[in-house]
Amino acid sequence: MSNNQKELQKTSSRKESNKIGIMGGVFDPIHIGHLFTAEEARMRLNLDKVIFVPCLQPSHKRSDLVTDIKHRLKMTYMAIEDNPFFEVSEIEVNRSGPSYTIDTIKEFREIYGWETDIFFITGADAFLEIDSWYKKDELLKLCKFVAATRPGYDLNKLNNNFKDVLQIMEIPALAISSTDVRYRVKNSLSIKYIVLDVVRKYIYVNKLYF
């Protein structure tokens, strides 16, 4: 069965979606910044659901510096478990090579068709890099974008080219990053309340980031 068929099967058992959010990321590990951003986008845009898409191989990072997908995926599943509006998709895990958002959105378009509004949710830092994204012009025609404010990144720097496709979402500043979580574990600092408890326990049990 192809990945698309598997996704379709998963989707067809649920209510028809007309507005979905896609939250792509490395999730190394998933933290409350990701979860809060996704939930806020869901509420404000009245999304039917948000699908978290952990990437296999980030195109902007050396893959040997990223934690094994098996762990990133498990932590993502655990973190979203108690939110009925959140899902995880393994669409990028099942595709070999670098994970490009364009390929992912194309696959979701095939699954959901054009009747569904697709919003790709990012933080300000990620959207500010949009010019370097693979096949950016084509991508901008395939979905809309939501960029959440993130301390240290100024979305006002963007030119007007994006005004039709981008919605800026002001959120309470969360100076939280996976980089900081990894640093904290390595330096025996607390990560309680920055990641969910299940994720924190998983990190310690599996000795990640030490």
* Binding footprint of ligand ATP on the chain (CB under 6 A): 25-28, 33-34, 37, 122-123, 125-126, 148, 150, 174, 176-179
**Cβ closer to ligand ATP: 5 or 59?**
59
Q: What is the CA radius of gyration of the chain?
A: 17
**Cβ closer to ligand ATP: 8 or 77?**
77
**Cβ closer to ligand ATP: 111 or 148?**
148
Least separation in angstroms between CB 16 and ligand ATP = 27
Tell me 122's DSSP state.
E
**Cβ closer to ligand ATP: 24 or 107?**
24
Least separation in angstroms between CB 179 and ligand ATP = 3
**Number of helices followed by number of strands (H, E) in the chain:** 8, 6
What tokens appear for 134 in the block?
Answer: 């693979």
Least separation in angstroms between CB 175 and ligand ATP = 7
Residues 194 and 181 sit within 8 Å (Cβ to Cβ): yes
Q: String of b and e for 88-113 (b: at least 16 CB within 10 Å)?
A: bbbbbbebeebbbbbbbbbbbeebbe
Give the residue closest to ligand ATP by C-beta: 123
Q: What count of residues does the chain have? A: 210
User: How many other C-beta atoms are found inside a 10 Å radius of the C-beta of residue 51?
Assistant: 25
Least separation in angstroms between CB 1 and ligand ATP = 28
